[in-house]
Amino acid sequence: MQEKLVELKEAALASLSDVKDLAELNDLRVKYLGKRGALTEIMKGMGKLSPEERPVMGQQANEVRAVIESLLKEKTEAFEQAILQEKLESQRIDVTLPGRVVARGAKHPLTLIVEQIEDLFIGLGFEIAEGPEVETDYYNFEALNLPKDHPARDMQDSFYITEDILMRTHTSPNQARVMEAKQGEAPVKILCPGRVYRRDDDDATHSHVFTQIEGLVIDENIRMSDLKGILLFFAQEMFGSDVEIRLRPSFFPFTEPSAEVDVTCAVCHGTGCRVCKDTGWLEILGSGMVHPKVLEMSGYDSEKYTGFAFGMGVERIAMLKYGIEDIRHFYNNDLRFLKQFNRR
Ligand code: PHE
């Protein structure tokens, strides 16, 4: 038995010395030390030994097992180390490499202008009131003193969805919506930015979708001079403290009197140039005193309250402010254009 043990030990050590990988190691472990392995096989002979021999053989068998086990362990660790080393080599991280730059989006120039105008008017105590782009004929026209078949509806060629529903042609329906919701209560001081839709052929100065900002103030003793004062403040904040404004008589069914508002030409400062067609003035918005009929229709006592309203095209304001020659730049998503506005 002793011989067998020595043989086994020699054989095991010999085959372990040129083992090639973890799988082979495992096979050898099973072969020599496994439940049906060579060592177990030898140990089966223990029963035939004398009581004196038994402990001696047992001890020797344990020693053989211990020697093989420690060699197995050593080899296993060596292989695992080699595998780890190889991984570290192949997956090495170069911490000196520059990081990948995350491309950051930026606000669209129209958003920037809308926010700038909102800030101005919030500073004057206005609240922002938005409304739906899909609007009823009632709010878009009728509540603004534009009954069906009124010729002034032609001023705003519309996209109708049904006979009574259309894409709003201006932000003025918000006036009627807010007044109605306030149930005759004053003051009203709102600013309504939003997208509007008109059946226009797109060209350098027209777009069938564009952006408007509407303003409405209603209270006791609101006069046209209040409108003029606020618009002068707005124009000077937007275009520079040296600009003047000029009000020209105009017509809107929902305001009476109505005025078109011009500012001093930002390009030539009033001396006359190609942009202002030699007039020295640029038209920037429509405005007027809220028509008594409009007040009454939305539940306001027109004997007690008066108000003014104005509406401006945001693209036009941005084009004048930054010298942009084509409105389509705003919608083409050309990064060369958009990136110029990342910083305010
Ligand atoms: N809603 C008008 C337009 O789009 C502008 C406007 C608003 C005029 C408010 C007067 C008062 O043309």
SS (H, E, C) the chain: CHHHHHHHHHHHHHHHHCCCCHHHHHHHHHHHHCCCCHHHHHHHHHHHCCCCHHHHHHHHHHHHHHHHHHHHHHHHHHHHHHHHHHHHHHCCCCCCCCCCCCCCCCCCHHHHHHHHHHHHHHHCCCEECCCCCEEEHHHHCHHHCCCCCCHHHHHCCCCECCCCEEECCCCCHHHHHHHHHHCCCCCEEEEEEEEEECCCCCCCCCCCEEEEEEEEEEECCCCHHHHHHHHHHHHHHHHCCCCCEEEEEEEECCEEEEEEEEEECCCCCCCCCCCCCCCCEEEEEEEEEECHHHHHHCCCCCCCCEEEEEEEEHHHHHHHHHCCCCHHHHCCCCHHHHHHHCCC
249: buried, middle or exposed (CB in 10 Å: 19+, 13-18, 0-12)?
exposed
Asked if residue 146 has its Cβ within 6 Å of ligand 1, the reply is: no
Task: Beginning with the edge strand found earlier in the chain, give each strand of the sheet holding 306-313 in spatial order.
Answer: 127-128, 188-197, 209-219, 306-313, 281-290, 255-264, 245-252
Average the pLDDT over each of 10-14, 104-108, 271-275 and give the range with the smallest value. 10-14
Rounded to an integer, what distance in angstroms lies between the CA atom of residue 60 and that of residue 38? 15
Residue 210 CB less than 6 A away from ligand 1: no
Residue 32 above 90 pLDDT? no
Q: Separation of 128 CA from ligand 1 center, angstroms?
A: 17
Regarding the beta carbon of 168 and ligand 1, being less than 6 Å apart is answered no
> Hey, which of 22-31, 77-86, 113-122 has the most confident mean pLDDT?
113-122
Query: Using a 6 Å cutoff on CB, does residue 216 contact ligand 1?
Result: no
Whether the predicted pLDDT of 270 surpasses 70: yes
Please check if 256 is assigned to a binding site: yes
pLDDT at 344 over 60: no
107: CA distance to ligand 1 center in Å? 27
Lowest average pLDDT, out of 14-23, 280-289, 297-306, goes to 14-23
- How far, in Å, from the CA of 286 to the mean position of ligand 1? 5
pLDDT band, very low/low/confident/very high, at 224 (cuts 50, 70, 90): very high
Q: Is the CB of 287 under 6 A from ligand 1?
A: yes
**What's the pLDDT band for 152 if we cut at 50, 70, 90?**
confident
Beta-bridge partners for 250: 258
Q: Give the CB-side neighbour count of residue 25, counting CA atoms within 13 A.
A: 17
CA 170 to ligand 1 centroid distance, Å: 7
What pLDDT was estimated at residue 203? 92
Work out the percent of the chain whose per-residue pLDDT is above 90: 59
- Using pLDDT thresholds of 50, 70 and 90, give the confidence band for residue 105: confident
Position 118 scores a pLDDT of 98
Q: State the average pLDDT over residues 45-56.
A: 83
pLDDT (mean) for 287-312 = 98
With left for phi above 0 and alpha for psi between -120 and 50, is residue 280 left, alpha or beta?
left
Q: Report CA(196)–ligand 1 centroid distance (Å).
A: 12
Pocket probe for ligand 1: among 170, 210, 231, 306, the residue whose CB has the most ligand atoms within 8 Å is 170
pLDDT for 326: 94
Residue to substitute in 145, 153, 172, 260 for testing ligand 1 pocket (most ligand atoms within 8 angstroms of CB): 172
Residue located nearest, by CA, to atom 5 of ligand 1: 311
**Predicted pLDDT at 343:** 60
Query: What percent of the chain lies above the pLDDT cut of 70?
Result: 99
The bridge status of strand 165-167 relative to strand 255-264 is unpaired
Atom of ligand 1 nearest to the CA of 215: 9
Residue nearest to ligand 1 atom 10, measured at CA:
287
- Is the confidence at residue 307, as pLDDT, over 80? yes
Over the stretch 114-148, which tens digit does the pLDDT of each residue have?
999 999 999 999 999 999 999 999 999 999 999 99
Mean pLDDT of the region 16-35: 84
Kindly report the average pLDDT of the chain as a whole number.
91
Residue 171 CA, ligand 1 centroid: distance in Å: 8
Ligand 1 atom nearest to CA at 169: 4
Determine if ligand 1 sits within 6 Å of the CB of residue 252: yes
Q: What CA–CA distance (Å, rounded) separates 47 from 54?
A: 8
Does the CB atom of residue 173 touch ligand 1 within 6 A?
no
The answer to pTM > 0.85 is: no
Residues 76, 77, 82, CA angle at the centre, nearest 5°?
A: 100
Q: How many CA atoms lie within 13 A of 290 on its CB side?
A: 36
Is 211 touching ligand 1 by the criterion CB < 6 Å? no
Q: Reply yes or no on whether the pLDDT at 342 is more than 80.
A: no
- At residue 59, the pLDDT reads 85
Query: Exposure string (b/e) for 190-212, b if CB count within 10 Å is 16 or more?
Result: bbbbbebbbeeeeeeeebebbbb
- Max avg pLDDT among 4-8, 45-49, 56-60, 310-314: 310-314
CA–CA separation, 93 and 328 (whole Å): 47
- Contact 320/282 with Cβ under 8 angstroms? yes
What's the mean pLDDT in 157-186? 96
Averaged pLDDT for residues 162-189: 96
Distance CA 174, CA 171 (A): 6
For the cut 80, the answer to whether the pLDDT of residue 155 exceeds it is: no
* Dist. CA 285–CA 112, nearest whole Å: 19
Q: What is the pLDDT of residues 324-341, one digit of tens each?
A: 989 999 999 999 999 888
